[in-house]
Homo-oligomer: A and B are copies of this chain.
Amino acid sequence: MLLSKDEIIKAEVLQEAGKLFRHFGLNKTTMEDIARAVGKGKSTLYYYYKSKEEIFDAVMKHEKDAIFKRIQDAVALQPTATAKMEAYVRVKFNEISKISVLYQAVVREVQNCNEIERNIRKGFDSVETDIVKSILQYGLVTGEFSRLKQSELDLLAFTLVSSQRGVEIAAILGNRLGELEAQIDWYMEVLFNGIKNL
């Protein structure tokens, strides 16, 4: 047989736990809930997984693997690096978007946490978006950005600011400020010339 009995039950636990996490999030899902869903005693779960966290991690890993399998497949179909990159970006955003809706209970748990962060970020976002917008506007007037339309400025500006925020946050919260400077050089290179000119 392809899967040992052991692996079948592990997978069943994963599947049922996944359903529960999607409905109720990590905190409100108990080991008893999972055990009941699988139809076993809760101590049995520990025969298959070391802890609740390990189950959650395994569920996430399972989703992640599925997502990145789909991404890899899409990437593999494309002949050039740029085409691969496009496939990667498009499929990935799409997958992430779907999974964030699926696990919205978990998203809520994350959202509820950081009041402080969200307030600070909101303030910065709006000012930065204004600045970027004004720069784009300027380039539109001077003719530097000739293909850009007035109506597109807002979304483009917000997208650029968000992408920068991602780089910042990764550096700050990941304690990688040391690498930030080199990262900015790369960010700039791509921002200006695009990866086609790498």
Contacts and interface: CB of A to CB of B under 8 A. Distances in A.
Most B CB atoms within 10 A — which of A71, A106, A170, A179? A170
B81 A135 contact: yes
Given A81-B136, A138-B84, A196-B192, A187 B89 contact: yes
A135 to B, nearest CB: 5
Q: Does more than half of chain A's interface fall in helix, strand or loop, or is it mixed? A: helix
Contact of A75 (B90, B114, B135, B187): B135
A10 B125 CA distance: 26
Interface string A94-131: 00110011000011011101101111100111011001
Contacts of A155: 179, 182-183, 186
Contacts of A80: 139, 142, 144
Interface stretch (A1-9, A35-43, A158-166): A158-166
Nearest to A130: B68
Contacts of A120: 60
Closest CB pairs A-B (n = 4): A166-B166, A81-B139, A194-B194, A163-B163
Given A125-B170, A169-B169, 16 more contacts: A60-B120, A80-B142, A80-B144, A81-B136, A81-B138, A85-B139, A86-B188, A93-B181, A93-B184, A97-B172, A159-B183, A159-B190, A163-B164, A166-B169, A190-B191, A190-B194
